[in-house]
Amino acid sequence: MVNELKSKRILKICRPLKSTFLTIAICLCGISMPLMAQVFGFKIPESRKKVELPFQFKNGFIILDLVFDNKVPMKFIFDTGAEYTIITQKEIPDILGIEYTKEYRIMGSDMKTELVAYLARGVSFSHKDFEAYKQDIFVLKEDYFHFDEFTGLNIYGIIGANFFRNLVLEINYKRQIITFYRPDQFKIQNRKGFSEFDISIYRGKPYLNCELEILDGQVLPIKLLIDTGASLGLLLHSDSTGILQTPSNAIPGHIGNGLGGQLKGFLGRVNRLQLNEFHFDSFITSFQEINETLDTSLLNSRNGLIGNPLLSRFTIIIDYIRNKMYLKPIYKYNKGFTYDRSGLNLMADGDFLESFVVHNVISNSPADLAGLRKGDRLISFNRLGARLYSLSRINAILRKKPGKKIRVKIRRGEEKILIKFALKDLV
């Protein structure tokens, strides 16, 4: 009877993925602990030179379907910007009877909040013939992410660098395939269209040196983390170098969520981001101010990060062993980026994430000037019931061209209110 109740509970926890979108920076800036003694990661069978692992590219995230501890199918974010693999909901390992050996403190992505995590040893992850046995992972004491509310994605963890930093990986966003190569079997020769970059690897995370042209025309050399766990294109840390400042015309707001809660910052533009021969002009950028008390060694002297909206314009190969990265651009790789033009930040709610609540409104944005407030609950969106939409679909509409008319009916307390506004560029 106990096992039956456990199975029913596990099935309830692992409910289907629901499509949504919200820019969320998942960037663990450091872990105050020594390296774990046993780190094995994904193993490629001796008979194979490479293994392909399919993924879903949803809402700016690379999402893997893996079986956790040989029992529970779960969805994980594939995150080159995280050093360790993390389970975000302790309830599942508890149900499976997994034991914890030690408590640790993790620095949150708000750069100031310390969070509690437990070390679990000897757990496994698998997908068909691609397996990782006897892994050391972290299990968060509390669900600090709240993925279900802020993204509508039923994701229960992050696959970090300790699973793949001894391999060569290729991310093909178009095919939605990650290919893992045995380092001694990988050769870049005869691969047409790839440009080579020197990168540095620190604590399993890849960093790229590039150039940034800010609004006054100055060109700065900067170091950026290559972060497939971030669904924003470019994040810069203001004051991380003397003249890297938040633009005066940037707008304050909520730039994402991560370990530790909301990430506050600014949205603005930079003149140009230059990655060798590749460039991105007038690029929408998030700016985050660094806590003055932060030990900046946790950031490895980086000035920011590059996330999936930009990375997905390439096929990417990261060779962790030889400190190399290779990029193959898609056609018109730097054209057609879309951004929110409403100032409205929604979160999913309800047992099946089928309702939507206003979480934040950017000051002086179309949504703010029209009268939308935090806590408003959507009844209808553009004349259709809100339950007929996914969060990702609503956010895609809010990124349409300037002038697009938006009509929402909301519930505020006992009152129903019809609100209309038109989209416009915010920065």
Name which of 18, 290, 327, 12 is nearest 147 in CA terms.
18
Sign of CA dihedral 28, 32, 35, 39: negative
> Is 72 within 8 Å of 96 (Cβ atoms)?
yes
Structure confidence at residue 139 (pLDDT): 95
Angle at the Cα of 263 from the Cα atoms of 78 and 391, rounded to 5 degrees: 65
Cβ-in-10-Å burial (0-12, 13-18, 19+) of 273 comes to buried
Going by pLDDT thresholds of 50, 70 and 90, the confidence category of residue 160 is very high
User: Mean pLDDT across the stretch 233-243?
Assistant: 84
For tokens 């900067």, the residue is: 222
- β 344-349/234-238 pair status: unpaired
Mean pLDDT check: name the lowest of 146-150, 158-162, 350-354, 410-414.
146-150
Structure confidence at residue 415 (pLDDT): 96
Strand boundaries in 152-306, DSSP class E: 157-159, 168-172, 177-181, 195-202, 205-213, 219-226, 234-238, 251-258, 261-275, 278-289, 304-306
- pLDDT reading at 273 higher than 90: yes
Residue 16 Rama label (left phi>0; alpha psi -120 to 50; beta):
beta
Structure confidence at residue 345 (pLDDT): 87
Residues near 74 by beta carbon (within 8 Å), at least 6 away in sequence: 14, 65, 66, 67, 68, 92, 156, 157
Q: Could you read off the pLDDT of 62-121 as tens digits, one per residue?
A: 999 999 998 999 999 999 999 899 999 899 999 999 999 999 987 666 556 678 999 999
Structure confidence at residue 12 (pLDDT): 39
Percentage above 90 pLDDT, the chain? 57
- pLDDT reading at 369 higher than 90: yes
User: Mean pLDDT across the stretch 374-390?
Assistant: 94
- Assign 258 to helix, strand or coil: strand
DSSP notation for 70-83: TTEEEEEEE-TT-S
Residues near 365 by beta carbon (within 8 Å), at least 6 away in sequence: 251, 342, 343, 344, 426
Structure confidence at residue 8 (pLDDT): 39
Structure confidence at residue 81 (pLDDT): 93
- Assign 369 to helix, strand or coil: helix
Instruction: Give whole-number Cα distances, 20 to 225, 259, 336, 348, in Å.
Output: 25, 19, 21, 8
Q: Could you read off the pLDDT of 166-178 as tens digits, one per residue?
A: 999 999 999 999 9
> For residues 366 and 426, what is the distance between their CA atoms, to the nearest angstrom?
9
User: Mean pLDDT across the stretch 135-153?
Assistant: 80
- Assign 234 to helix, strand or coil: strand
pTM: 0.86
Highest average pLDDT, of 11-15, 17-21, 160-164, comes from: 160-164
Terminal Cα-to-Cα distance of the chain (whole angstroms): 58
User: Mean pLDDT across the stretch 276-296?
Assistant: 81
